[in-house]
Chains A and B, each alone.
Chain A
Amino acid sequence: MSYLDDLSTELAAVGIAGSRKRRILAEVDDHLRESGDAAGFGSPSLVAQRFADELASTGARKAGIGTFLALVPAGLLYVVLFAFSGPSPDIASAHTFAIGLPAAALMLLAPQVALAAALLGVLRVRARRGDPVLPAAEVRVLRRRAAVAVSAGAIALAAAATYALEYRAGLPSWWVTTALAAAGVALVPLAAAAAALRATSRLEPRAAGTAGEISDDLGVGASPWRVCLVAAAVIAIAALVAGGPDEGPRNAVAEFVAVCAGFAVLGRFLGLRR
């Protein structure tokens, strides 16, 4: 087997295929014809791995930023829907209660998860902006954050559309129409972000090093759990103020527990703690 055959096999093994692979092989072929020294180019497996490490780093950064931008239309939809929703219909008035209630719950929960995951992705990209090549562990974290953000964003849009259908009897008709149409439109950039994430996730980087944690994202020296407790307290206070004397204390406790539980369950998966 020639050097190019070996390189072709190794590129495929690290997830590089199609036009990218053909281009790399053409460039290396041109180089080897000039230099006449295949040994000086490096072992095919090392060269292929280097391509995977470098391209996966750029792909993961783009996924982090791209996912955040793809969520902007969904975020605008939610702002419009909540700002002009008027009084909420009775939660029991759903056409099918077993569908309406989860849709209403997801309509509140999923956007928060999407926003948090997308923001964390952008923060990690920013924290690592000085590193040309990211450790494989960091690439995984960025991919996971983007995947959670895209999935939660899609669930939020589906929940908004379902809520509009289930509670249409108690909602203004313009609100129902807007929710359905805008949810469909906002899904398009999310689908594009998901496709880009899927494409870069085929690459298999192996660069050494560890992933950061939430304190690296925020540029603070505190331990991850301390950051979690402070964030949970701030969110709980906001819920307390927003909920008023009746619902405030209950909402504050629920938010505090939800943030801490989420941190405990998803902390390692999303690179919030080691």
Chain B
Amino acid sequence: MRAETLKGHLDFLLLATVAGEPAHGYRIIEELKRRSAGAFDLPEGTVYPALHRLEASGLLASAWAKDTARRRRVYRLTARGRRALASQRREWRGFTNAVDAVVA
């Protein structure tokens, strides 16, 4: 999938990926790839800046993991992030339902 197509949905996808359980950057990227059957193979250098921005916006929180040999930053969804994700899910379902109704 083209990067431009994904660009507008990156925040939504990242929040949805972290919603299940806290994860570090590499795992988030791999999980996105796995859940999308390889369609969302994001350029890795674009994910970390977005994670930092989402944290600065209060949608994600992060901390250094204590149970790993090397330093590893783990991200989790905040309450505000959870609300934002729920709102984006509603918007997305409304949009896809409308598109389906037109193109089906």
Interface residues of A (CB under 8 A from B): 23-24, 26-31, 33-35, 40-43, 46-47, 50-51, 53-55, 57-59, 61-62, 132-133
Contacts and interface: CB of A to CB of B under 8 A. Distances in A.
A132 B52 contact: no
Contacts of B72: 27, 30
8 contacts: A30-B71, A42-B43, A43-B45, A54-B49, A55-B49, A58-B56, A61-B57, A133-B53
Contacts of A55: 49, 52-53, 56
Contacts, number: 68
B25 A132 contact: no
Interface string B41-52: 001111011101
Most buried by A among B10, B24, B49, B70: B49
A27 B11 CA distance: 19
Interface string B1-36: 000000000110000000000001110000000000
B80 interface: no
Contacts of B56: 55, 58-59, 62
A34 B53 CA distance: 23
B73 interface: yes
Contacts of B48: 24, 27-28, 31, 47, 51
Given A30-B24, A55-B49, A58-B56, 16 more contacts: A27-B25, A30-B72, A40-B43, A42-B43, A42-B45, A42-B46, A47-B48, A47-B49, A53-B49, A54-B52, A55-B56, A57-B53, A59-B56, A132-B10, A132-B11, A132-B53
Contacts of A31: 25-26, 44, 48
